[in-house]
Amino acid sequence: MTDLSKFDINAVANRNNNIFGLPFNEEDSRVVLLPVPWEVTVSCNAGTARAIEHIYKASTNIDLFDTDMPEEWKQGFFMRDIDKKILMKSDYLRKEAELYIDFIAHGQDIQTNKFMLKSLKEINEGSVMMNNWVYEQTKTLLERGKLVGLLGGDHSVAFGYYKALAEKHPKFGILQIDAHCDLRKAYENFNYSHASIMYNALSEIPAIERLVQAGIRDFCQEEWKYICSSNFKVITYFDQQIKERLFAGDHWVHIVEEMIYHLPECIYFSLDIDGLDPKLCPHTGTPVPGGFQSEQILYLLKKIVESGKKLIGFDMVEVGVGDSNYDALVAARLLWKMCNLLVKSNN
């Protein structure tokens, strides 16, 4: 076990340690964070593949004392090194994807262009490779009894983790905080697009019993029809509806209680950072006006833990990179709380 007798929670973080300046190794840590630097299919602004490094650096600026959860961190949080091969593959395929997206955005038919067909094939094969890598990494960690959090990268990185969780939990639900539904089928012909993550999850992983979405404010007709015909397998709290309820005098606690009621006993939490108010994540790939304050999200997670339902894992994705590092600071603070809540939920 890691010796904490000389670790001062009030001191300046030691950057020679791991994330948040904590002195844990992987073996002694209850929570292991897996970075997945992948952003091949992002539709708007890139950069999120390198946000992980910024979050890691920003994490050493976090005050670790938390009156709600003063001891949970002592069970250990550890982030693995970024896999440079995954990042290099993402960089290469992202350039291919940018050319491809520009091509189709100008109304061109890919069937008339052999280069574009080749690029599409390589991108789809690369996504399968990434999914398999995430699956193997998370499966091994789960078999070792670890609690796992994923750091992206774009939202597509979570698919392999869902598959690994399905082998451990016969039934679970996903609580998705997001500006977008991500229910498009093979968006832009990318089979595992970031905009298709929830469609793919529900289509391919029977263990996912229900998807509850919150903060949605940018969606297409295809996704609307999918939700309406899902027989309540997908329950969506659109941002406009939430705001109208609050404006009319309803309370966030009531909306939170509804969300938790709709979720099964085991809950996976997926945080696309663009689900927040864009002032908190100005450099995310596709910012949309509206969204949540960070305190609302943390209150929701706190109430899940208090309800007795169990958090089984999480991801944080689509964090942007800006000159001020503000996005990373916001993400790091949320990540600290999410790690502590994950431990508290499993104590």
* CATH number of the domain to which 165 belongs: 3.40.800.10
Q: How far apart are CA 272 and CA 239, in angstroms?
A: 14
Torsion sign over Cα 291, 294, 295, 300: positive
Contact between residue 312 and residue 165 where contact means Cβ atoms under 8 Å apart: yes
Of residues 262, 251, 245, the one with CA closest to residue 307: 262
| Within a domain: 14 | no
| Within a domain: 110 | yes
198: exposed, middle or buried (Cβ count in 10 Å: 0-12, 13-18, 19+) = buried
| Within a domain: 106 | yes
Contact between residue 197 and residue 155 where contact means Cβ atoms under 8 Å apart: yes
| Within a domain: 281 | yes
| Within a domain: 199 | yes
Q: For residue range 212-232, what is the model confidence (pLDDT) as tens digits?
A: 999 999 999 999 999 999 999
Sole residue written with tokens 């609690």: 147
Contact between residue 47 and residue 317 where contact means Cβ atoms under 8 Å apart: no
Q: What is the pTM of this model?
A: 0.97
Rg (the chain; Cα; Å):
20
Percentage of the chain lying above the pLDDT 90 cut:
95
pLDDT band with cut points at 50, 70 and 90 for residue 323: confident
How many domains is the chain built from?
Answer: 1
Q: What are the b/e assignments for 258-267, b being 16+ CB within 10 Å?
A: ebbeebbebb
Domain around 130? 19-345
Q: For residue range 154-173, what is the model confidence (pLDDT) as tens digits?
A: 999 999 999 999 999 999 99
Residue spans of alpha helices (H) in the chain:
51-58, 84-105, 114-143, 159-168, 197-204, 221-228, 239-247, 252-262, 294-307, 326-345
Contacts of 324 (CB under 8 A, 6+ apart): none
| Within a domain: 2 | no
| Within a domain: 13 | no
pLDDT band with cut points at 50, 70 and 90 for residue 324: confident
| Within a domain: 95 | yes
Q: For residue range 34-49, what is the model confidence (pLDDT) as tens digits?
A: 999 999 999 888 899 9
